[in-house]
């Protein structure tokens, strides 16, 4: 995808589909509770489509390709499907993404799961059975999706589930999102310190009525428009967003106001937000930020800062090493192409120097949707090419069409 150097149009309105994170949680719960949940504004992402297909399939081999959330959530889901044998597999990259902590936790609860190829990694052979234990410990610093996977099935265990979170808790807002969704459909939860409890669901005629859940739009996808507004200094409107969100990535509002002067104005009656750059905003000398709660928007922030040549030091990014690619390595490589020399550690990235980039910029995506979309706003600075543009289908299939709506060639 070649992106010519462009200007940002003013006051264009974009509508983004439902949150992938919320949609995927609701889909698992809908099938666990036998379709008593009606979901509106479901995400149109490839990940969500793959999860839907997997949940609707009665095949023994389930291939979820690159969909990491589906792999984690389905591991717990299929572990509970008594008498069913499932081989859960994915792409070559998926087979390199560790899942041992989740499998260990499920085995402790009584699950029958074996590794088909490499110990600690997919594919998995899962023989569904009744899980007879109700308490487990799991490291809290590897992936919040492992914990959410357990939380989603916890109420289906006879005595509920108590999870002891070991060590530093990463991506806390995603766990809070899962708990809020559970409570919204009537499941009791409790979180005190390092202990989360999910109370058993008592099925009866009274609580088996249809529950309607409207999925709010995706804040991770909104991040690219915040980047465009910050660089292009013109307003953008986004539809189907609520002023108070379940999603951790809604921290965007505070981050882009504090560091880039982009104000978020909510119009609740229209479920719309407006991104309004402050014309007199004074940019900081340097950005210091811990993004442990919202690591998925780190790539977007680094590209924004580079475009505006604001030095940055971002920490709390340890989970980026086990995403679709090692995002820290990928980010360092591609930031260099747009004029930023940076250094990385196991959990951080910081800029060292900005320079004038080459005229021919080609961004490698590493099969990672966020690499493609986070670098796209740099076209407001220079022409660039995004390799393998179709990776955006994973989370935001209409991205290129929507991007074109807000740009005009200069």
Closest C-alpha among 355, 28, 46 to residue 187: 28
Pairing, β 349-354 against β 272-277? unpaired
Which residue is catalytic, options 296, 326, 347, 368? 296
- Contact call for residues 160 and 197 (beta carbons, < 8 A): yes
- Contact call for residues 167 and 144 (beta carbons, < 8 A): no
**Is residue 296 annotated as a catalytic residue, yes or no?**
yes
In angstroms, the CA 171 to CA 142 distance is 10
Residue 239 — φ and ψ, nearest 5°? -95, 160
In this structure, what token pair is assigned to residue 169? 């808790």
Residues 6+ apart with CB under 8 A from 175: 144, 147, 148, 151, 169, 191, 196
In this structure, what token pair is assigned to residue 8? 């940002």
Residues 6+ apart with CB under 8 A from 398: 17, 44
Burial 16-37 (b: 16+ CB within 10 A, else e): bbbbbbbbbbbbbbbbbbeeeb
Burial 89-128 (b: 16+ CB within 10 A, else e): bbbebbeebebebbbbbbeebebebeeeeeeebbbbbbbb
Cα separations in angstroms, 305 against 32, 166, 299, 407: 43, 34, 10, 20
Cα separations in angstroms, 181 against 21, 383, 400: 11, 42, 31
Pairing, β 287-290 against β 262-267? unpaired
Q: Which run of H or E residues covers position 362?
A: strand 362-363
In angstroms, the CA 190 to CA 50 distance is 31
Active site residues: 296
């Amino acid at each position: 995808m070649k992106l010519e150097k462009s200007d940002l149009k003013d006051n264009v309105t974009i509508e983004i589909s439902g949150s992938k994170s919320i949609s995927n949680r609701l889909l698992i719960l809908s099938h666990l509770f036998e379709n008593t949940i009606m979901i509106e504004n479901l995400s149109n992402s490839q990940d969500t489509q793959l999860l839907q297909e997997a949940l609707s399939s009665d095949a023994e081999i389930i291939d979820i390709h690159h969909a990491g959330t589906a792999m984690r959530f389905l591991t717990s889901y299929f572990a509970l499907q008594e008498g069913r044998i499932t081989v859960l597999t994915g792409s070559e990259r998926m087979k390199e993404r560790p899942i041992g902590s989740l499998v260990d936790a499920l085995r402790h609860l009584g699950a029958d799961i074996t590794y088909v190829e490499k110990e600690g990694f997919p594919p998995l052979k899962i023989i569904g059975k009744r899980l007879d234990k109700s308490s487990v410990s799991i490291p809290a610093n590897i992936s919040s999706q492992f914990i959410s996977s357990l939380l989603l099935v916890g109420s289906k265990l006879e005595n509920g589930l108590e999870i002891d979170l070991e060590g530093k808790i990463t991506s806390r807002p995603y766990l809070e999102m899962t708990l809020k969704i559970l409570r919204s459909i009537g499941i009791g939860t409790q979180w005190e310190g390092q202990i989360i409890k999910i109370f058993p669901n008592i099925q009866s005629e009274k609580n088996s009525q249809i529950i309607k859940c409207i999925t709010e739009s995706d804040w991770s996808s909104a991040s690219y428009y915040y980047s465009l507004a910050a660089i292009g200094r013109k307003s953008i409107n986004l539809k189907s967003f609520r002023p108070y969100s379940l999603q951790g990535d809604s921290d965007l509002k505070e981050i882009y106001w504090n560091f880039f002067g982009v104000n978020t104005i909510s119009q609740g009656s229209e479920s719309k937000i407006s991104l309004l750059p402050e014309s007199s905003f004074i940019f900081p000398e340097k950005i210091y930020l811990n993004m442990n709660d919202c690591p998925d928007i780190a790539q977007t922030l680094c590209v924004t800062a580079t475009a505006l040549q604001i030095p940055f030091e971002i920490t709390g990014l340890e989970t980026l090493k086990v995403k679709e690619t090692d995002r820290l390595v990928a980010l360092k490589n591609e930031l260099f192409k747009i004029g930023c020399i940076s250094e990385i550690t196991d959990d951080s990235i910081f800029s060292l120097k900005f320079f004038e980039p080459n005229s021919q910029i080609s961004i490698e995506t590493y099969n990672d949707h966020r690499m493609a979309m986070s670098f796209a706003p740099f076209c407001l600075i220079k022409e660039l090419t995004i390799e393998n543009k179709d990776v955006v289908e994973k989370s935001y299939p209409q991205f290129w069409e929507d991007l074109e709506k807000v740009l005009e060639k200069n």
